[in-house]
Each structure stands twice: as structure tokens, then as C-alpha cells.
Structure 1
């Protein structure tokens, strides 16, 4: 304990400034929220499905739920059941073990439904393409509306992909 206190006393307090943040995208928040309400009349509900990923994409998706991005404040939320979802957000390559589960989730999602493939593995199969346990990208099983490349894609790219899927499907949102 004393050694720790000595180390703290020797180190002192940091005097460097915090880095400046890039908040330019936040100016669009109210417009995004209004556009979602105009199209759906309520919040956009997303069911996230891990079809066999390394969890890198999931970490970035969880970052969207942080106060920094404030996804709930934009009118976008994640749900536990595909029966309550407007969109399926799928990560990872389509593995043999998850093929039937992904298909059932797609069938359980009410119309009109959107499918977004997030991450390089969901888009192309990624480094797992030639694996015996992988069927390929998500598009081999489901009609994908938008793909979000990257390994893993940053949270802002995931948010842009979600909004691009809404724009593509409903054609009511301005670019």
C-alpha cells in the first residue's frame, strides 16, 4: 500500500489537455430523429444477430449505445425479438450452425423489413470464407439492403449504414 502511495506522489497530476472531439455529426441528430419518425411514426427497432463473428463488430455496436452517440435519443433502439424489429443488423459470416437461426429470425421479422450486413465478414465472408464451418456472406441466404464494410466498422459508419438502409427502403429520407 505504501509503495502505491509513493508511486502516486512521485508521478504527480497529469497536466495534458483532453483531446478535442469532432462533434460535427451531432448537428444532424434532430433531423435524423424527425426523419425516422416521419417514415415509421415511432422508434426504429433493430434486432442484432451475431451469425458467427469474432465480436469485434459487436463491440462497435455496443459503443453506439453509449451516451456519446446517444442512439436512443435519435429514435433508434435494439430489441430482443425479431418479431418487434424493423431491421436485422447481422454481423459475422454465415456459419452452418447459425444458418437456420438467421433464416427463422428473418421470417419472424414483420414486413417491411430491412437487412444490414455489418463488418467485412458479413459482407464478403472475410477471412473465414474458406472455412468448412462457413456458408459465406449473409447475402447467400438473405436479401441484404445495405453492407457496411470494415473490420470492424467504426460506430459512426454503422450509424450511417443504418440510415442508408432507411433511405434506400423508404425513399422518403433526404440524403
Structure 2
């Protein structure tokens, strides 16, 4: 143990610089999101996430929205367990035949005005699964979709941007 500590003291901390962000500033997107949520949803947007048969790559990025770096809750967005409390559905994955009815029921349970965002390549266009005996394909084959977020998986910044676009398109 002492040998490792002596080496650390002798060499110091070696880190790489952060790569430049190619995406729009998170603070700018976040402030726009907060303003739109304040106008249209009285300051709070409730999201229900539905996994319709994905590989969980998109769920990892959705979960990253709650970490301290993205901190989506500071903009007035929170995730809820019941679709009856939700304003927006985030649906991931191609809709498997076993999840088709569950996705329809979840959509029906969300009160009006409801927004749907399809997250990831599989939700947007069926991905490599497409329509088959086990898959209904893209989410829009089962329920109406307002915004799609391509990517496998899409970045949390792209998800924030898609939520903002969905809110701006809301009536």
C-alpha cells in the first residue's frame, strides 16, 4: 500500500482533458425547457418511461438524465410510476407483440394533452427487428408519436432536446 501511495505522490495525478462538447449547451436547452414547462405545464412535467422491448441501452441514457451532470429535475421534469400522473411518454425499443397491449393501455391511461416521444432507432423505425412474428416494429405502428429521437442509444442531451421539441409542439 505504501509503495502505491509513494508512486502516486511521485508521479501526481494524470488525467486527460475533457473533450469539447459537440452538442448544444445543456444550460441553454435546460433553461428553454424550464421556461416552456412553466408556460404549458404550470412548472412541472411528469414523464412515464415505457420499455416496449428494448436492449436497455436507451434506458441507461434516460437514467443518466437524473444524474448530477444533467440534473433534469432542476428544470421541473420528473419521472412518475403511473401513466395516470404523466404528461409525456418516453417509449423505447421496438414494440414486441407481448407489449403491444400494454403500450396501448399505457397510452390510453395518460390524460390529455398527452405527448409521446419514441427514443432510439428501434422505437423510431423498428431497428434491425422491424415487423415480424415477434415485433410490431416502430412505436408509431401502435400509438401516435409526436417526436422521434434517433440514435443507438441517443445521448441525454438529445433526449432533453426532444422533450423540448415535444413541449413546443404541444397544443
Normalized against structure 2, the TM-score is what?
Answer: 0.89
Match of 1:13 in 2: 12
| Distance across 2 between alignment mates of 1:17 and 1:122 | 35
Match of 1:93 in 2: 94
| Distance across 1 between alignment mates of 2:31 and 2:7 | 48
Indicate the SS of the match to 1:164: helix
Normalized against structure 1, the TM-score is what?
Answer: 0.87
Match of 2:84 in 1: 83
Match of 1:25 in 2: 26
Q: Does 1:126 align with 2:123?
A: no
State how many pairs are aligned.
167
* Structure 1 unmatched runs, 5+: 171-175
Q: CA deviation at 1:157?
A: 0.3
The answer (yes or no) to whether the contact 2:49–2:79 under 8 Å persists in 1 is yes
Indicate the SS of the match to 2:58: helix
CA change 1:20–1:130 in 2 (3 A) is closer
Indicate the SS of the match to 1:116: strand
CA change 1:6–1:31 in 2 (3 A) is same
* Structure 2 unmatched runs, 5+: none
Q: CA deviation at 1:7?
A: 4.5
| Distance across 2 between alignment mates of 1:130 and 1:49 | 19
